[in-house]
């Protein structure tokens, strides 16, 4: 079972909590999409990158290790499933699309404010 897109999952849960009667219907239309984070590879490097110096020492060895997947970690988004379960927002009735866009804007703003607060050490 592919892990569900967190934003979409939160949206459905919020809608249920707020008593929207369409929430149950929306919760039945999950479909699989190629994981946008790892592009269907199932692995990421978690931001790991190499500098020229790393290659200067043992270019061949390092290249080989990379190709062999020595630095690959399961993708944190799809947990190596290569696919995610997502809502088909485009296929939803217009008013639910609007609802989603409103919710998404708010959620992004909240996440941003949260990150800012953390940066300020609050
Ligand atoms: Zn992934």
Regarding pTM above 0.75, the answer is no
Q: In angstroms, rounded to a whole number, what is the distance separating the alpha carbons of residues 84 and 33?
A: 5
Distance 62 CA to ligand 1 centre (A): 24
Beta-carbon count within 10 A of 87 CB = 22
Distance 34 CA to ligand 1 centre (A): 8
Residue 8 exposure: Cα atoms within 13 Å on the Cβ side: 20
pLDDT in tens, 69-94: 888 889 988 999 999 999 998 889 99
Q: In angstroms, rounded to a whole number, what is the distance separating the alpha carbons of residues 64 and 41?
A: 18
pLDDT in tens, 105-119: 999 999 999 999 988
Distance 41 CA to ligand 1 centre (A): 7
Residue 62 to residues 59, 65, 95, Cα–Cα distance (Å): 5, 5, 53
Distance 40 CA to ligand 1 centre (A): 6
Distance 61 CA to ligand 1 centre (A): 27
């Amino acid at each position: 079972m592919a892990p569900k897109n967190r934003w979409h999952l939160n949206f459905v849960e919020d809608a249920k909590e707020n008593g929207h009667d369409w929430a149950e219907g929306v919760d039945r239309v999950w479909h699989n999409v190629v994981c946008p984070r790892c592009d269907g590879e199932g692995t990421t490097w978690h931001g790991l990158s190499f500098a020229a110096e790393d290659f200067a020492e043992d270019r061949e060895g390092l290249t080989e290790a990379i190709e062999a997947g020595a630095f690959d970690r399961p993708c944190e988004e799809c947990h190596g499933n290569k696919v995610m379960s997502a809502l088909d927002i485009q296929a939803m009735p217009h008013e639910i699309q609007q609802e989603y866009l409103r919710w998404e804007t708010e959620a992004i703003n909240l996440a941003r404010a949260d990150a800012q607060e953390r940066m300020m050490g609050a």
